[in-house]
Amino acid sequence: MGTFSTGRRAVAAVLSMLALAGVVCGCAATAPVSVRPAAVPAGTGCPQGVTGGTASTAGTTVFWPAAGRAGVPWRSVGRGWILADLARSAASASGPETLYLVSPGGQRYRLGPAPANAYFEDWSGDGTHALFLDPNLDPARASVIVLDLQTGLASSFTVYSATSGVTASFSRPAGTAILVLAAAAEGGFLPLQRFSLTGARELCYPGTGAVDLGYQENADGTAIVFSTQNGIEVVSSAGQPVRTLATQYGPGLCQMLNWWNDQSVLADCSYQLLAFPLSGGPPEQLTTSRDPGSFVGAWHLPSGTYAEDGACGSTWLERLNPDGTATRLTIPGEPDGGRVQPLGAYGDQLPLQVAGGCARYPYSFIEWYNPAAGVATTVLGGPAGGGYVTDAILFPAS
């Protein structure tokens, strides 16, 4: 499954709401495989004895033969690389999938099968591990799977979750721990928890408000922000409350999106795009007047600022103008009623996951798009080797 790059849990929740809106608009949209329902109100206390990880050494599995990884230039894997989960087709997206690494130049490296029945959640900041989540291990447990991309070995542990509404991510900056947001039996979410890679619970983050669009950790791992009904709540990595942002817009009117930089987070507040400094300073307003819709994220490039916007189950790319208005862009190969989702920004390009929505033949592929030149190059899925991309993350994941 989300990186920004994009804040993946926030993006998944926003796209879920857009998919629901697509039903109302009459668009039979094909929702992304990785999308889950939007979050619901959080619990207020840390669970006692009902939530915890249990390391599963017996679950350690060799997924790939050595030959499947031999050609990867591991020392070069870093900024601008993409890790993606590929199915044979949209119809088989819930079946066996394969992990691929894609270089900034478009070279594809097939790694091997992805863990079965699991969502691709995150990519570690050191580039060596992928995080998967099976939310339906049984009615009360989810399985967290850590896959070593260089060796093909995977280990897993279980966490309590009353429903399949559970998400997970690596800690920043290097992925030395795992953050888990799991569902509570009484409804809503348990507080965010941090586990070691072997499943020992290290920390619980109590006291946040009604979480509605999840959480995000900044790139250096010093702060976590929660999107709540009370605003955007900032908590230190040690779990200490710092401050609440965006309180002046009213309960539930600001939806946290992705990081604008390491010290500012983006939010859609009543159809306007704003960047809120973690310091509590005044927000930077990036848009002014526009038609109602839902922003999903925005990114800097040398050629300007670009935003993903959406309505009726579809998303598209816009260039933000200096006066706060926006101009919709036409991407080569963009489907009608589909989804154009930036994975982040790299140099003067945006890597995009482009997916068919109302199209008769659904598809999903990754392409590099240079908005200044108007050029797009497909690098995985569809015309680039075939297959249907279910999820992808741009390094560094953030």
What's the mean pLDDT in 37-47?
43
Quick one: pLDDT at residue 199?
92
Domain assignment present for residue 276? The answer is yes
Cβ burial of 56 (10 Å; 0-12, 13-18, 19+) is middle
| Residue 363: band (very low, low, confident or very high) from pLDDT cuts 50, 70, 90 | confident
Domain assignment present for residue 337? The answer is no
User: Is the model more confident about 288 or about 212?
Assistant: 288
Q: How many domains does the chain have?
A: 1
Tally the C-alpha atoms within 13 A of residue 383's C-alpha that lie toward its C-beta: 7
Domain assignment present for residue 136? The answer is yes
Domain assignment present for residue 130? The answer is yes
Both structure tokens of 397: 């994941």
User: Is the model more confident about 49 or about 213?
Assistant: 213
Can you tell me which residue has the tokens 């992925």? 175
What's the mean pLDDT in 155-177?
90
Domain assignment present for residue 61? The answer is yes
What is the extent of the structural domain holding 58? 8-289
Tell me the per-residue pLDDT of 43-85, one tens digit each, with 9 for 90 and over. 445 655 444 444 444 344 545 666 667 789 999 999 999 999 9
Quick one: pLDDT at residue 41?
38
Both structure tokens of 91: 């119809």
Cβ burial of 72 (10 Å; 0-12, 13-18, 19+) is middle
Q: Whole-prediction pTM value? A: 0.87
**In the structure, how many helices (H) and strands (E) does the chain have?**
1, 29
Domain assignment present for residue 321? The answer is no
CATH of the domain at 54: 2.130.10
Cβ burial of 123 (10 Å; 0-12, 13-18, 19+) is buried
Measured distance CA(388)–CA(126) in Å, rounded:
27
Both structure tokens of 119: 């969502």
Domain assignment present for residue 227? The answer is yes
The DSSP annotation for 41-90 comes to: PBPSS--SSS---EEEEEEEEE-S-GGGTTT--GGG--TT-EEEEEESSG
Tell me the per-residue pLDDT of 98-131, one tens digit each, with 9 for 90 and over. 999 999 999 999 999 999 889 999 999 999 999 9
Domain assignment present for residue 363? The answer is no
The total of other beta-carbon atoms located within 10 Å of residue 216's CB is 28
Q: Is the pLDDT of residue 160 over 70?
A: yes
User: Coil, helix or strand for 255?
Assistant: strand
Contacts of 327 (CB under 8 A, 6+ apart): 318, 319, 321
Both structure tokens of 4: 């920004």
Q: Is the pLDDT of residue 16 over 60?
A: no
Quick one: pLDDT at residue 186?
73
The total of other beta-carbon atoms located within 10 Å of residue 304's CB is 14
